Structure 1
Amino acid sequence: MLSKYKVILWDFDGVIMDSMPIRSKGFELVLAQYPKEQVDELIAYHELNGGLSRYVKFRYFFEQIRKETITEAQVLELAARFSEIMLSLLLDEKLLIADSVEFIKANWQKFQMHIVSGSDGKELKIINDELGLSAYFKTINGSPTPKKQLVENVLTANQYDRNEVILIGDSINDYDAAIVNNISFTGYNNPELKQLSENYITQFKLIVPQ
């Protein structure tokens, strides 16, 4: 399936690391002073929209769930607290998804690989550095830049032929980012994505690049 591509853009959460439950816990901790039913509503939104950044999710919590205004400074403060919690919990190699990580380590010289994630860019770099993954990727890209723009930036900066690029993700936001940028998409770790694309990876160990 991947042999016809030269470039792989990777989502991170749910694809390289099983971090979604940890990130849900992070929202609970940062927003602990607010009503549980409102926080639960945000977590449901978070789990449906894995590819969106925490900046978008915090704005959604206040503007859509609580019907309040929130300043950019307040969003940044919440995001910073969230990041502190994430770095305390995510620097754990046991959270890595062995199936995809083994594929990356075995094939990183066969493809140009980049991470494009809704997670904070600085935080992503620290996590990948600490867990020894950074060397496998040409660039590591995250929020606050939206994923659709991250993908566009990578494609433009490297002048890639879009016919040779595929994005691997586990959410509808990943699919949208691929479609709007006119590149291929394959779902992973989310069977609901099978209906969106003819490509779907059940296990990387079943894929043998040619």
Structure 2
Amino acid sequence: MRLTVLGSGSTGNAVLICAGETRVLVDAGLSAKETVRRLALVGEDAAQLDGVIITHEHGDHAGGLRVLLKSLDCPVYTSGATRDAYVREKSRNNDEPKKRAEALRDRVVEISSSQDFRIGEIDFHPFTVPHDAVDNFGFTATHDGVRVATLMDFGCITTLVAERLRGCAAIVIESNHSRDMLKACEVYPWELK
């Protein structure tokens, strides 16, 4: 199993998980053009992706999804609540919600934190993580007995998160923290600061 961080941070997040012949993109926060470029840099073709998992609706995790889907022929795995929030996400373009809904039409495989799922040769085990999104997930992915995890944006490590991460061969955590920014920010509740 191979994990490749294509982007991490407030400007865009994307992680590629490969196992056998299976290629899965976790989050599409980079522009479509940049995602395709970075995949090519690591010898991968975006058209060969078997699925895209969206962990939550924020722009740095899903901002490039709509345009990226134009060049992909694979499903998008996300929760119904995340799909709906992504479609409604604020945009300068008034047509964006309609465009997002159309891009996702017949493409979404709805997942939940209580149900494992499989994409190609990889078994995914989602779990809820605290964040200011409607339904934020972390995942472990298993192939041939090797387990890895992706944890994209979270407020704290809960007992559940610690339990799910135990025994992983590798863990990708996307996080950035600025005490000064958080103190000044009135949007986030204290438990997420």
The answer, yes or no, to whether TM exceeds 0.5 is no
Q: Higher strand fraction: Structure 1 or Structure 2?
A: 2
User: Whose relative contact order is higher, 1 or 2, with alpha carbons under 8 Å and at least 6 apart?
Assistant: 1
Which has the larger helix fraction? 1
**TM-score, normalised to structure 1's length?**
0.31
TM-score between the two structures when normalised by the length of structure 2 = 0.33
